[in-house]
Amino acid sequence: MKAHYDVIVVGGGPAGSTAARFAASRGAAVALLEKDREIGIPVRCAEGVGEHGLASLVEIQPHWIARRITGAVLIAPSGAEVGLSSNQVGYVLHRKQFDYDLARMAARAGVEVYTKAYVQGLLMGKTGVTGVVVEHLGTRQAISATLVIAADGVESRLGRWAGLDTRCTLQDLESCAQVTIANYDGDPAVCRFYFSNESFPGGYGWIFPKGDGMANVGLGIAGVKADKRCAHDHLEAFLARISDKPAILSRVYGSVPCSVTLKTIVTDGLMLTGDAAHQANPLTGGGIVSGMIAARTAGQVAADAIADNDTSAQRLQEYPKTWAAGEGGRMNQFYRLKKFVFTLSDDAFNKIAKGILELSPEKRTMTNIFKAALINKPSLILDAIKLFK
């Protein structure tokens, strides 16, 4: 490891690798530091992505794809199933392969990638953040950087170390539990989403098929609801409902910040990106694509700011401004919908499903579902129309 880099990116997830790649491809000298011994593990993810969003960021590689998804079914508390009419395609990824390749692409763009590189503190100087303290393969060292990009995920500490308010309320922190099972006999091209305030309070349950009988089965509940029954307990009940004897190959627990983006995501010499900046979709909890979109801008702005010899918070504003004008604005709309959807009673979910099932199959769209749900909230209907058009 060198004593100085233009940019140090902390965290080798999708956001970190993307930020590093884009900064390097604009000429910056970049190091990517990942605390785990291998990029891509452990996988704490249901691995679902939309084709459209992902294709806008990278050329999709066949070996990343566990299963191509062409349908979605929403399940009401009553058990009523609404098959969505949509021609959108999605994928359930092999997230390990995917993360690995994103880091490989960064390395090809010139990024120095280090695993077992645990960042334990920030160097602070007159100009703000000036580098990191990292323990790499047992050796602790201070590495200076003109700019640090924190892509250290939901448990991010770098922003806090730099004095930013990175808190997420328990209401908005989605607590998740998931298993991967090997004996799933449902339609392998269809993702299933379960709603119920009783079974998935403040969240939803999912089955994302991975092909060959494999599927990710999990749920997220609002952290604030986890005091009575935790996500693990809800998952056990969910599993009992969907399978007599699930063959469980792995279990994961984790959380997603399902809030609006942090108010401040840049300070002098530091940018936050991905889950560390709370850039996941607050309604779905999906943070791969949105984090990468943000990280691309962060990497580009980082390299440009370094070329301008100005990494002050003021110069870095281009990043939050670009985010807010694009994907970040959409995330605010998703947040407004989430606040409403997750207060619905089971009775209300059942009524909406019943109403939608009375429509012809081609009219069973997300827009029409939200129109039915938001009958008394016209301002939110506009959000839904824009988001699901």
Ligand X SMILES: Cc1cc2nc3c(=O)[nH]c(=O)nc-3n(C[C@H](O)[C@H](O)[C@H](O)COP(=O)(O)OP(=O)(O)OC[C@H]3O[C@@H](n4cnc5c(N)ncnc54)[C@H](O)[C@@H]3O)c2cc1C
Q: Which residues bind ligand X (CB under 6 A)?
A: 10-16, 33-36, 44-49, 118-119, 151-154, 176, 178, 218, 252, 254-256, 274-276, 280, 285-288, 291
For residue 157, the minimal CB distance to ligand X (Å) is 6
H or E segment and range at residue 346: helix 346-357
For residue 345, the minimal CB distance to ligand X (Å) is 25
Separation CA 386–CA 367 (nearest Å) = 9
Backbone angles phi, psi at 334, to 5 degrees: -60, -35
Distance of CA 9 to the CA centre of its chain: 18
Cβ within 8 Å of residue 184, ≥6 positions away: 207, 209, 213, 214, 215, 217, 243
Separation CA 284–CA 169 (nearest Å) = 17
For residue 354, the minimal CB distance to ligand X (Å) is 28
154 vs 270, which CB is nearer to ligand X?
154
265 vs 280, which CB is nearer to ligand X?
280
16 vs 328, which CB is nearer to ligand X?
16
153 vs 299, which CB is nearer to ligand X?
153
SS3 299: helix
134 vs 341, which CB is nearer to ligand X?
134
For residue 186, the minimal CB distance to ligand X (Å) is 17
45 vs 353, which CB is nearer to ligand X?
45
For residue 378, the minimal CB distance to ligand X (Å) is 30
Sequence-ordered alpha helix ranges (H) in 12-94: 14-25, 51-55
> In Å, what is the CA distance from 266 to each residue of 128, 160, 313, 344, 359?
11, 12, 6, 36, 47
For residue 153, the minimal CB distance to ligand X (Å) is 3
Task: Determine the residue with CB nearest ligand X.
Answer: 287
> In Å, what is the CA distance from 14 to each residue of 11, 20, 32, 197, 214?
9, 10, 12, 31, 23
